[in-house]
Amino acid sequence: MLSLNALVVVADGHQAVLFRNVAKHGIELQEQGRMSPTNLQDESQGKQPEETTPRDEDEATFAKQLAERLNQMVLQNKVDELAIIADPSTLGNMRKHYHKMLEQKLVKELPKTLTSATGEEIAQALRG
C-alpha cells in the first residue's frame, strides 16, 4: 500500500502524468503535473543504438529524461515513496537510468499503459 504523499508516475514513450497519494489510508490520487518531451528536453542528451527508428529513439530519450528528472527529485528529498506505471518498453528504458536512491524509494512498478486512465483506474491498478 502507498503511504500518504507517495509520488505515482504514469508514463508512456510520449508523456508522463504525476500524481500524489492524498489519502492517509488507502489510495486517492491527485494530479500534480504532466511532463512531455518538450519540457524535459535540453536537460539531457544521449546517444541511442544505431538500429533504432526515430520513434524508438524519441521514446527511449524521453524515458531516460524522465528517469533523470525523477532521480533529481529523489536526490532533492522531494520523494519519500515512488510508484511507476509505464508501458513495458518505457519502463525498461527508465530502469537503465534509475539512481540507487530512487531504487530505494521505489515501492511498486507496473508494466502497463495507463496514461489516459483516470486517477481512480490508476489507483485500482496499484491496489490490484
Has domain 7-127 been given CATH number 3.40.190.10?
Answer: no
> 29: closest CA among 40, 39, 17?
17
- What are the pLDDT tens digits along the chain (128 aa)? 899 999 999 999 999 999 999 999 999 999 999 999 888 865 444 444 445 566 667 889 999 999 999 999 999 999 999 999 999 999 999 999 999 999 999 999 999 999 999 999 999 999 98
Confidence (pLDDT) at 44: 43
| Each residue's pLDDT tens digit, 104-118 | 999 999 999 999 999
E strands present in 22-119: 29-35, 82-86, 106-111
Q: Return the domain boundaries, the chain.
A: 7-127
d(CA 62, CA 94): 9
